[in-house]
Amino acid sequence: MDNLKFFLGIGLAVVIVFAGVSAYTHYMRSVPAPVPADQDTLYQVSTIDALMLGVYDGIQPTGDLKHRGDFGIGTFDALDGEMIVLDGVIYQAKADGRILIVPDNLTTPFATVTYFQADQNITTKSTMNLSVFTASLEEQLPTGNMIYAVRVHGTFPVMKVRSVPAQQEPFPVLSEAVKNQSVYTFSGTTGTIVGFYTPVFFKGVNVPGFHLHYLSDDRTAGGHILDFTLPVGMLVEYDVTPGFTMALPTSGDFVGADLSQDLSADLAKVEK
């Protein structure tokens, strides 16, 4: 870690930049030249544990996210649907199945974005479901101690996604909110998987391991991925993302939330 800076934007921001590590330098010699350092950064709004505890009030306009990245995932004020950011456009996968392009003034309580530029890719050697895919890809990453943006485009024999409807105050915790989720299963859908891998030491801050959303090319299907069938020969692109910036709320429910708890077991259930 080279530096740790705190500053005020919409809230407190934490900047962590990983650099100068010999192992990282070694494997980066074999990949294309990176984009400028400020673009090789994961920008995150709030923390996953705050979302787990029901901190759903939007704190940052989605229009601001467009200045931080063109690729990412998240949710919206009151937990109203799933966010997919692809090619600089922010989409909302609603619980009723609609896919909307959101206005810049719609706010988010939790989101992660970056500028995507593939550093390496992997071609699948066998048909995989989600659990096999994530285990296989994790084994093939250069190191488990780095953030990666992950993108896969193609036709999927099966794609199972979910979206959660807007919640009413007082907000329930996330494990309760997802009990009312809408689940959709699509066959032969063509589109893009959008998401991230974050290291285990991000526990409480982000989802350790893979967190993936989906958006179809025709913009009729999308949401948080629960499972899929990934065929042989699919190209999996990933972008090494060594920088990390986090913006935290300075008021509202976040201030009083008890973030000392270990919510990893509940998170695992919510993700699946």
Using CA atoms, how far apart are residues 257 and 49, in angstroms rounded to an integer?
9
pLDDT of residue 247: 97
Which pLDDT tens digit goes with each residue over 237-269? 999 999 999 999 999 999 999 999 999 999 999
Q: What is the dihedral of CA 123, 128, 131, 134, to 10 degrees?
A: 0
Whether the Cβ atoms of residue 234 and residue 152 lie closer than 8 Å to each other: yes
Structure tokens at 249: 């709320």
Half-sphere exposure of 9 (CA within 13 A, CB side): 18
Residue 14 binned pLDDT confidence (cut-offs 50, 70, 90): very low
The percent of residues in the chain predicted with pLDDT above 90, rounded, is 84
Residue 117 makes CB contacts below 8 A (sequence gap 6+) with 34, 35, 39, 239
Mean pLDDT lowest among 26-35, 70-79, 127-136, 227-236: 26-35
Whether the Cβ atoms of residue 67 and residue 245 lie closer than 8 Å to each other: no
pLDDT exceeds cutoff 90 at 32:
no
pLDDT of residue 144: 97
Supply the pTM of this predicted model: 0.87
Q: What is the mean pLDDT of residues 35-62?
A: 91
Residue 11 binned pLDDT confidence (cut-offs 50, 70, 90): very low
Domains present along the chain, CATH in parentheses: 3-271 (3.30.1330.80)
pLDDT of residue 39: 87
pLDDT of residue 38: 75
pLDDT of residue 7: 33
Q: What is the mean pLDDT of residues 6-33?
A: 39
pLDDT of residue 28: 40
The percent of residues in the chain predicted with pLDDT above 70, rounded, is 86
Using CA atoms, how far apart are residues 114 and 197, in angstroms rounded to an integer?
13
84 compared with 21, residue with greater pLDDT: 84
pLDDT exceeds cutoff 90 at 212:
yes
What is the pLDDT of the chain when averaged over all its residues? 89
Which pLDDT tens digit goes with each residue over 98-141? 999 999 999 999 999 999 999 999 999 999 999 999 999 999 99
Whether the Cβ atoms of residue 58 and residue 76 lie closer than 8 Å to each other: yes
pLDDT of residue 272: 78
pLDDT of residue 33: 47
Which pLDDT tens digit goes with each residue over 156-183? 999 999 999 999 999 999 999 999 999 9
Q: What is the mean pLDDT of residues 1-26?
A: 38
Using CA atoms, how far apart are residues 194 and 249, in angstroms rounded to an integer?
25
